[in-house]
């Protein structure tokens, strides 16, 4: 302070009071000689007393500007909530579009990948060049030798649309997230979620290209080999999408539809019921994951009868591969059998959960959500059986895949409504 008292100074102090304090002292003149120093001092200080002492210690003409950022308000929470809901809706759309891309066998039409998007062919020469690239890979050589340029354009646009939709998700997420973070509209816990969401979106894009690469590799040499992406990578790609969607939807519910609380302590039966609903949600996810293996191996085309498989409850070729463990993820017969078994088990569990919910005292919306899960569970099974019996028509198969995500959404809603069932009311 003795140093400042000897100075004749004109200072501009800009204080941004939130969690950090920034003091910028510029244009300092020393006694006897004029020198200008541009310096920036930053302190992360909480006590307001430090600010007051710093201001008091300055001599001369001082301008102090205090600006406090607007914190989290009910309106800002709604804005963030609708943004999260919009992002989850876009992920839902990506899953549907990806399913249609897979069902129409369009996923291997684009043989290159660029981070910010591939150049769109416009002239006939550009389309022919793109078509020639496609002709160098196994899908054309083995399966699509007779495809025309016009047919190639159609599958190319399908894959292009899926990729650009994924990039749009990244933009719709990262730009508002940056703004909301800067405005202080995100709680510390929400900031961690935002980082997790961004990481999952990036991983999803990378896994998508890694999956496509598996279908472009020169590994299809057998007489019965069909060029397709790895079912393992397809299942991973779908799982990441489901996880991202679930987390975004849960966070949107936190902002837009907070869970209701009971006016009295939850019973032990209600707390056990809560764990049952989480089990149902896990089984729905697991069944959807097995569906990815069905799609990856075209296993929906091997036994198109129900409830038996070729007039047998357990088909003869269910353990045809060696070692035996390979059958679980590589034998189309076993993969379809497992999907049937998981679907039936999940439906039975959901039905039991709904019947039990009617006897328990739960938050009002939880009863509605339980009934919705039960109705959608039966609808999903009917869609699956119809898809199988009709030899996997694209519209019905796409509806079945979308139905799995709708069912998961309702299960997320139900478990979210029960999030306070484990706690005593305050």
> Considering the chain, what percentage of its residues have pLDDT values greater than 90?
76
Note the pLDDT of residue 227.
92
Q: State the average pLDDT over residues 46-65.
A: 41
pTM of the model: 0.82
| Reported confidence tier of residue 423, pLDDT bands at 50, 70, 90 | low
Is the pLDDT at 78 greater than 50? The verdict is yes
Q: State the average pLDDT over residues 312-318.
A: 95
Note the pLDDT of residue 17.
33
Task: Report the 3 state secondary structure along the chain.
Answer: CHHHHCCCCEEEEEEECCCCEEEEEECCCECCECCCCEEEEEECCCCHHHHHHHHHHCCCEEEEEEECCCCCCHHHHHHHHHHHHHHHHHHHHHHHHHHHHHHCCCCCCCCCCCCCCCCCCCCHHHHHHHHHHHCCCHHHHHHCCCCCHHHHHHHHHHHHHHHHHHHHHHHHHHHHHHHHHHHCCCCHHHHHHHHHHHHHHHHHHHHHHHHHHHHHCCCCCCCCCCCCCCHHHHHHHHHHHHHHHHHHHHHHHHHHCCCCCCCCCCCHHHHHHHHHHHHHHHHHHHHHHHHHHHHHCCHHHCCCCCCCECCECCCHHHHCCCCHHHHHHHCHHHHHHHHHHHHHHHHHHHHHHHHHHCCCCCCHHHHHHHHHHHHHHHHHHHHHHHHHHCCCCHHHHHHHHHHHHHHHHHHHHHHHHCCCCCCCCC
| Reported confidence tier of residue 267, pLDDT bands at 50, 70, 90 | confident
Note the pLDDT of residue 311.
92
């Amino acid at each position: 302070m003795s140093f400042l008292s000897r100075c004749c100074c004109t200072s501009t102090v800009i204080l941004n009071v939130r969690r950090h304090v920034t003091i910028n002292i510029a244009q300092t003149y020393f006694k006897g000689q004029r020198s200008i120093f541009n310096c920036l001092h930053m302190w992360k200080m909480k006590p307001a007393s430090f600010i007051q002492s710093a201001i008091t210690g300055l001599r001369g003409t001082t301008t102090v500007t205090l600006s406090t950022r607007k914190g989290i308000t009910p309106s800002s929470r709604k804005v963030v909530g609708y943004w999260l809901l919009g992002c989850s809706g876009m992920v839902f759309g990506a899953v549907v579009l990806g399913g249609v891309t897979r069902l129409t066998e369009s996923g291997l039409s684009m043989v290159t990948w660029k981070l910010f998007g591939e150049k769109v062919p416009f002239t006939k020469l550009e389309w022919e060049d793109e078509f020639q690239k496609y002709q160098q890979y196994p899908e054309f050589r083995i399966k699509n030798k007779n495809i025309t340029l016009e047919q190639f354009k159609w599958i190319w646009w399908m894959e292009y649309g899926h990729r650009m939709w994924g990039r749009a998700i990244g933009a719709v997420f990262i730009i508002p997230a940056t703004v909301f973070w800067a405005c202080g509209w995100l709680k510390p816990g929400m900031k961690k979620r935002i980082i997790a969401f961004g990481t999952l979106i990036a991983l999803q894009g990378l896994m998508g290209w890694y999956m496509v690469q598996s279908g472009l590799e020169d590994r299809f040499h057998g007489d019965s080999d069909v060029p397709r992406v790895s079912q393992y990578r397809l299942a991973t790609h779908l799982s990441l999408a489901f996880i991202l969607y679930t987390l975004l939807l849960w966070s949107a519910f936190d902002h837009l539809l907070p869970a209701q609380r009971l006016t009295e302590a939850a019973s032990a039966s209600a707390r056990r019921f809560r764990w049952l609903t989480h089990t149902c949600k896990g089984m729905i996810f697991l069944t959807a994951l097995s569906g990815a293996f069905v799609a990856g191996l075209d296993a929906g085309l091997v036994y198109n009868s129900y409830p038996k498989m070729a007039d047998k409850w357990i088909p003869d070729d269910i353990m045809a591969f060696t070692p035996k463990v390979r059958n679980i993820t590589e034998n189309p017969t076993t993969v379809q059998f497992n999907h049937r078994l998981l679907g039936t088990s999940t439906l039975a569990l959901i039905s039991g959960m709904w019947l039990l919910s009617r006897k328990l005292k739960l938050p009002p919306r939880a009863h509605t959500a339980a009934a919705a899960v039960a109705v959608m569970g039966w609808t999903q099974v009917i869609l699956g059986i119809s898809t199988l019996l009709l030899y996997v028509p694209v519209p019905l198969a796409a509806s079945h895949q979308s139905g799995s995500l709708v069912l998961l959404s309702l299960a997320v809603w139900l478990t979210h409504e029960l999030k306070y069932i484990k706690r005593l009311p305050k």
